[in-house]
Structure 1
Amino acid sequence: MTNDTTTAEDLFPTRVDEVRDNIARSQPAVWGSAETGPFSAGELEAHDARGYTVLDDFITPEEVRAFSAELDRLAADSALSGDPRLITERTTGAVRSVFEVERLSEVIDALSRSPKVLDRARQILGSEVYLHQTRINYMPSFTGTGFYWHSDFETWHAEDGMPIPRAVSLSIALTDNYPFNGGLMVMPGSHRTFVPAVGATPENNHEESLKAQEAGVPSHEAITELAEQYGIDQFTGAAGSALWFDSNIMHGSGNNITPYPRSNVFMVFNSVDNALVEPFAAKAPRPSHIANRDFTPLR
Structure 2
Amino acid sequence: MMLTGTRVADAYPTRTAGEREPFDRTHPAVWGTEQDGPLDAATLASHESNGFSVVEQLLSPAEVQGYWQELTRLSNDQELAGDERVVTEKKSGEVRSVFEVHRLSELITELVHDSRVLDRARQILGDDVYVHQCRVNYMPGFEGAGFYWHSDFETWHAEDGMPVPRAVSCSIALTDNYPFNGGLMVMPGSHRVFVPCAGETPRNHYRDSLREQEIGVPSKHEITKLAAEYGIEQFTGQAGSALWFDSNVMHGSGNNITPYPRSNIFIVFNSVTNALVEPFAADEPRPNFIANRDFTPLSR
TM-score (normalizing by structure 1)? 0.99
SS at match of 1:42: helix
Residue pairs, 1:95-114, within 5 angstroms: 95-114=95-114
SS at match of 1:259: coil
Q: Give the deviation of 1:5 after TM superposition.
A: 1.6
**1:204 and 2:204 equivalent?**
yes
| Residue identity in the other structure for 1:70 | E
Aligned to 1:81: 81
Q: Give the deviation of 1:108 after TM superposition.
A: 0.4
| Residue identity in the other structure for 1:57 | Q
Measured in 1, the distance between the counterparts of 2:2 and 2:78 equals 31
Measured in 2, the distance between the counterparts of 1:242 and 1:35 equals 21
Question: Bigger shift: 18-27 or 221-230?
Answer: 18-27
SS at match of 1:264: strand
TM-score (normalizing by structure 2)? 0.99
Q: Give the deviation of 1:18 after TM superposition.
A: 0.7
Q: Give the deviation of 1:117 after TM superposition.
A: 0.5
Aligned to 1:295: 295
Gaps of 5+ in 1: none
SS at match of 1:3: coil
SS at match of 1:53: strand
Residue pairs, 1:21-60, within 5 angstroms: 21-60=21-60
Q: Give the deviation of 1:55 after TM superposition.
A: 1.1
**1:158 and 2:174 equivalent?**
no
Q: Give the deviation of 1:6 after TM superposition.
A: 1.2
After superposition, the C-alpha distances for 1:277-296 in whole angstroms (9 at most, x for unaligned) are: 00000000000000000000
Measured in 2, the distance between the counterparts of 1:58 and 1:87 equals 27
4+ residue runs over 3 A deviation: none
Measured in 1, the distance between the counterparts of 2:3 and 2:222 equals 34
After superposition, the C-alpha distances for 1:96-152 in whole angstroms (9 at most, x for unaligned) are: 000000000000000000111000000000000000000000000011100000000
| Residue identity in the other structure for 1:105 | S
Measured in 1, the distance between the counterparts of 2:178 and 2:123 equals 29
SS at match of 1:47: helix
The number of equivalent residue pairs is 299
SS at match of 2:201: coil
Aligned to 2:68: 68
| Residue identity in the other structure for 2:127 | S
Residue pairs, 1:125-164, within 5 angstroms: 125-164=125-164
SS at match of 2:244: strand
| Residue identity in the other structure for 2:158 | A
After superposition, the C-alpha distances for 1:138-185 in whole angstroms (9 at most, x for unaligned) are: 000011100000000000000000000000000000000000000000
Q: Give the deviation of 1:4 after TM superposition.
A: 3.3
Measured in 2, the distance between the counterparts of 1:5 and 1:291 equals 12
| Residue identity in the other structure for 2:287 | P
SS at match of 1:203: coil
Q: Give the deviation of 1:235 after TM superposition.
A: 0.1
Q: Give the deviation of 1:3 after TM superposition.
A: 2.2
Measured in 1, the distance between the counterparts of 2:121 and 2:101 equals 18
Measured in 2, the distance between the counterparts of 1:3 and 1:49 equals 33
After superposition, the C-alpha distances for 1:161-213 in whole angstroms (9 at most, x for unaligned) are: 00000000000000000000000000000000110000000100000000001
| Residue identity in the other structure for 1:54 | V
Aligned to 2:260: 260
Conserved 8 A contact 2:131-2:292:
yes
Residue pairs, 1:170-181, within 5 angstroms: 170-181=170-181
For the aligned residue pairs, the C-alpha RMSD in angstroms reads 0.5
Conserved 8 A contact 2:80-2:86:
yes
Q: Give the deviation of 1:23 after TM superposition.
A: 1.7
Residue pairs, 1:211-290, within 5 angstroms: 211-290=211-290
**Identity percentage over the alignment?**
64
Conserved 8 A contact 2:20-2:196:
yes
SS at match of 1:282: coil
Conserved 8 A contact 2:4-2:293:
no
Q: Give the deviation of 1:73 after TM superposition.
A: 0.2
| Residue identity in the other structure for 2:174 | L
Measured in 1, the distance between the counterparts of 2:2 and 2:22 equals 32
Gaps of 5+ in 2: none
Aligned to 1:120: 120
Measured in 1, the distance between the counterparts of 2:117 and 2:136 equals 16
Measured in 2, the distance between the counterparts of 1:2 and 1:156 equals 18
